[in-house]
Amino acid sequence: MQRRILVSAGEASGDLYASLVVEELRRISRDLEFFGCTGPRLRSAGVETVVDAASLAVVGLLEVVAHIPRIHAEYRKLLAAARLRKPDLAILTDAPDFHLRVARHLHRAGIPVVYLVAPQVWAWRKGRLPGMRRTLRRLLCIFPFEEEFFRRAGVDATYIGHPLAGLVRPSLTRDEFFRKHRLAGGRPLISVLPGSRRGEAARHLPALLDAADRLYREQAVNLVLPASVTTGAAFFRERLGRSPILVIEGESWDALAHADLALAASGTVTVEAALLGTPMVTFYKVTTPSWVAGKLLVRVPFYSMVNLIAGRALVPELMQSQMTGESIAREARRLLTDENARAEMKAGLAEVREKLSQGPEERAGSTQARMPVIQAGETASRRAAVIIQEILEGQVVHVA
């Protein structure tokens, strides 16, 4: 009997993570049909599009206000599809402002909800926890410190490891990458990553262009900007003018893996850089009203996920007014010239990579009822698929 699963992702990273889980579910079971809110990766995985995830990609506390009517229309469209098609289970990925509302409706309709990528309520908006306890069948956490936090709050949470661990790798050697893009051999490579959305990239570009000019005047370097699918290379080429930065289409993992340094907007790309062992300077800027509101609400010792996982200030964080061309260039110069600083950061990034690569303990022989057996060394997406299949079947699923 064909079973239906609603899958919804609101951002590029969530689209990737959810698509990996869908691919694993297809390997486990052939009788599954998928539909929902999709980006390009979910569509490639065969998920039917009801809502385009690009319509939900808005960053900032106050920036979202102007987009509320459109987002609400997409919300209603997704829920209408759920009412019509009555899925056996829903997988909601990230985008908590949108998906926690969807979860409440689906729960009332008797549809089990698995939430992939935990909302960062450990940082702010802890008032979401009671609703999560009521509406989520299982919360799948991708950062190691999250499981204990949510379990203490009464949410059925499982740490599955990070979906990118074991996946992020270059496709070209350094020599091949340099030859392909006609980069000067023997010069350091700096990868410039202003963000995967046009709004955030536009806010970050002025300071990054200033930093690039300063660094290029002082030292012969290669500067590469791998444009994401969601922004596109043309967006950056129109704005760079006579900058020494070379814009390329995609190839972010190669650009990161072979870089001597990354200038990275705080977000998923910093985790990718950590997994590849690339030293980095992180930054982020939002509108002034959003920054003021965020300062009142957010309670975390660090803004970068790399520093949160490390538990210390491992990588520089240049946030809001601290993000200037001068400050970015200064931190970049230090990491390019100070071998001790580079070695210390690379050792710390190796610790972060190890933490992200570790999944839950092997559950073979577990005495807990209805707990799936998850083998040590499996990918996060495979672990997620096993758990989801177990919920669908209502029984223990053993994976060889």
Instruction: Give the chain's radius of gyration (CA, Å).
Output: 21
**For the ranges 51-55, 81-85, 208-212, which has the lowest average pLDDT?**
51-55
Give the whole-angstrom CA distance, residue 314 versus residue 142: 20
Q: Looking at the predicted structure, is the pLDDT value of residue 95 above 90?
A: no
- The DSSP output letter for 221 is -
Give the whole-angstrom CA distance, residue 47 versus residue 225: 31
> What pLDDT shows up at residue 70?
72
Write out the two tokens for 139: 């919360």
Give the whole-angstrom CA distance, residue 307 versus residue 316: 9
pLDDT in tens, 48-78: 999 998 777 554 444 445 456 677 888 899 9
> What pLDDT shows up at residue 361?
53
**For the ranges 10-14, 192-196, 308-312, which has the lowest average pLDDT?**
10-14
Question: What is the length of the chain?
Answer: 400
Q: Looking at the predicted structure, is the pLDDT value of residue 291 above 90?
A: no
Mean pLDDT over 216-236 rounds to 92
> What pLDDT shows up at residue 386?
94
pLDDT in tens, 9-30: 988 889 999 999 999 999 999 8
- Is pTM beyond 0.85 here? no
Q: Looking at the predicted structure, is the pLDDT value of residue 88 above 80?
A: yes
> What pLDDT shows up at residue 324?
97
Q: Looking at the predicted structure, is the pLDDT value of residue 162 above 80?
A: yes
Q: Spell out the domains of the chain, with CATH numbers in brackets.
A: 3-161+358-393 (3.40.50.2000), 174-353 (3.40.50.2000)
User: Of all residues in the chain, what percent carry a pLDDT higher than 90?
Assistant: 70
CB 211 within 8 Å of CB 325: yes
For residue 142, the SS3 value is coil
For residue 354, the SS3 value is helix
Q: Looking at the predicted structure, is the pLDDT value of residue 81 above 80?
A: yes
Place of tokens 């609101």: 10
- Mean pLDDT for all residues in the chain: 88
Please report which confidence band the pLDDT of residue 114 belongs to, taking 50, 70 and 90 as the band edges.
very high
CB 94 within 8 Å of CB 13: yes
Place of tokens 């229309």: 73
Give the whole-angstrom CA distance, residue 301 versus residue 317: 11
Mean pLDDT over 324-336 rounds to 97
Largest CA distance in the chain: 66
Contacts for 101 with CB less than 8 Å, ≥ 6 apart: 75
Q: Looking at the predicted structure, is the pLDDT value of residue 323 above 70?
A: yes
Burial class (CB in 10 A: 0-12, 13-18, 19+), 208: buried
Please report which confidence band the pLDDT of residue 250 belongs to, taking 50, 70 and 90 as the band edges.
confident
pLDDT in tens, 343-380: 999 999 999 999 888 766 533 333 343 344 445 457 89
Give the whole-angstrom CA distance, residue 350 versus residue 61: 33
DSSP string, 157-195: EEE---TTTTT---SS-HHHHHHHTTPPTTS-EEEEE--
Mean pLDDT over 44-50 rounds to 96
Instruction: For residue 113, list its beta bridge partners.
Output: 90
Write out the two tokens for 354: 């190890």
Q: Which residue has the higher pLDDT, 285 or 396?
A: 285
Give the whole-angstrom CA distance, residue 93 versus residue 11: 9
Mean pLDDT over 107-120 rounds to 95
Contacts for 152 with CB less than 8 Å, ≥ 6 apart: none
CB 204 within 8 Å of CB 194: yes
> What pLDDT shows up at residue 296?
62
Q: Looking at the predicted structure, is the pLDDT value of residue 400 above 70?
A: no
CB 212 within 8 Å of CB 244: yes
CB 144 within 8 Å of CB 169: no
Helix runs in 277-322, H state only:
288-297, 305-310
Q: Looking at the predicted structure, is the pLDDT value of residue 79 above 50?
A: yes
CB 76 within 8 Å of CB 52: no
> What pLDDT shows up at residue 199?
87
> What pLDDT shows up at residue 7?
97
